[in-house]
Structure 1
Amino acid sequence: MAKKKNFFERFANWATNATGSSAAFIIAASIILIWIVTGPVFQYSNTWQLIINTGTTIITFLMVFLIQKSQNKDSKAIHLKLNELIASHQGTSNRMVNIEDLNEIELDQLHKFYVRLATLAEKENDLTCTHSIDAAEENNSNKLNSVKQRKSYINAGNHNSKQSN
């Protein structure tokens, strides 16, 4: 991972750090203050107004791309960290790795699975219990089968005792 970063990558990292600093805010506020103070000197001319409008438009336009690049990089890093946690933890569903590549419909379907997981956990009266969707459905199915078997056993016992009478 120690590859040399290209010029744009280094510049984007530097610019992101620089523009997100207190010093950048103070500089921007100072520029606005200087612009306001120079208004009477330039008699609030169209050129005076055009300078601030043009400057802020250009900076805003460039910052949109810089912010998006930074957000994409941060998002990718977070996804990789989450993927590592999912992959390294026994009992987690590996279906979660790279879900950011799913479309909106597939994400909604996955959301429904987690709503189901929460419903199953509620039935267990233990909201702190954690497991994968598959394990939750299997646990719930086993519990239901166990309850059915107990009821069958109880009903069979009741049926046998009625026959004895």
Structure 2
Amino acid sequence: MTASRLWFVHFAQAVSHITGHPLTFIVAVSIILLWGISGPIFGFSDTWQLVINTGTTIITFLMVFVIQNTQNRDTASLHIKIDELIRVTVNARNALLDLEQLDDKELEQLRLDYAKLAQEELPHHRKGPARTKAIPGKPSTRKR
């Protein structure tokens, strides 16, 4: 990773951490309240309105990129962790490791398969210990 990318990663993580803190929200609300209270002082002028509009637009514009970078990194790390769990689970289907490459129709079919499994297990769950059913397309090797 280049120095400029590494710098941005650290910057994005720090900004994301700071902006996600409750104190930052309180500061933002306080700024808006102070701006609103100062309206009569400035006669609710166009400049007074322009200050808040410009400030919030610039902050929002920049935060989109910071949040997206942080979200991309979090999603990638989560996928890697889940892939590792699938890889080491004996009865897991390794085909699930690369779901990001499937189209919407294939993903929806998998979702429906798992929803069907969940519905089939619901009555068994209410009766006692969990049972493992075969995953569609793969024979089950677990004892029931």
Fold-level similarity (TM above 0.5): yes
For the residue of structure 1 that corresponds to 2:139, the secondary structure is: helix
TM-score (norm 1): 0.69
State the structure with bigger RCO (CA 8 A, min sep 6), 1 or 2: 2
Aligned identity (percent) is: 43
Q: Which residue of 2 aligns with 1:132?
A: 135
**Contact residue 12 and residue 66 of structure 2 kept, 8 A:** yes
Between structure 1 and structure 2, the one with the greater Rg is 1
Separation in structure 1 between the aligned mates of residue 56 and residue 101 of structure 2, nearest angstrom: 35
Q: Which residue of 1 aligns with 2:95?
A: 95
Report matched runs for 1:24-43 at 5 Å: 24-43=24-43
Q: Which residue of 1 aligns with 2:60?
A: 60
Q: Which residue of 2 aligns with 1:23?
A: 23
Tell me the amino acid that sits aligned with residue 43 of structure 1.
G
Residues 138-165 of structure 1: per-residue CA shift (max 9 Å, x gap): 99xxxxxxxxxxxxxxxxxxxxxxxxxx
Cα shift at 1:98: 2.2
**Contact residue 91 and residue 132 of structure 1 kept, 8 A:** no
Cα shift at 1:18: 0.6
Q: Which residue of 2 aligns with 1:159?
A: none
Residues 42-101 of structure 1: per-residue CA shift (max 9 Å, x gap): 111000001001111111112222222222211111111111111011011111112123
Extract unaligned runs of 5+ from structure 1. Answer: 140-165
Deviating 4+ runs (over 2 angstroms) = 111-119, 125-133
- Taking only aligned residues, the RMSD between alpha carbons, in angstroms, comes to 2.5
Q: How many pairs are equivalent? A: 133
Cα shift at 1:13: 0.4
Separation in structure 2 between the aligned mates of residue 40 and residue 116 of structure 1, nearest angstrom: 62
Tell me the amino acid that sits aligned with residue 94 of structure 1.
N
Separation in structure 2 between the aligned mates of residue 126 and residue 24 of structure 1, nearest angstrom: 47
**Contact residue 12 and residue 67 of structure 2 kept, 8 A:** no
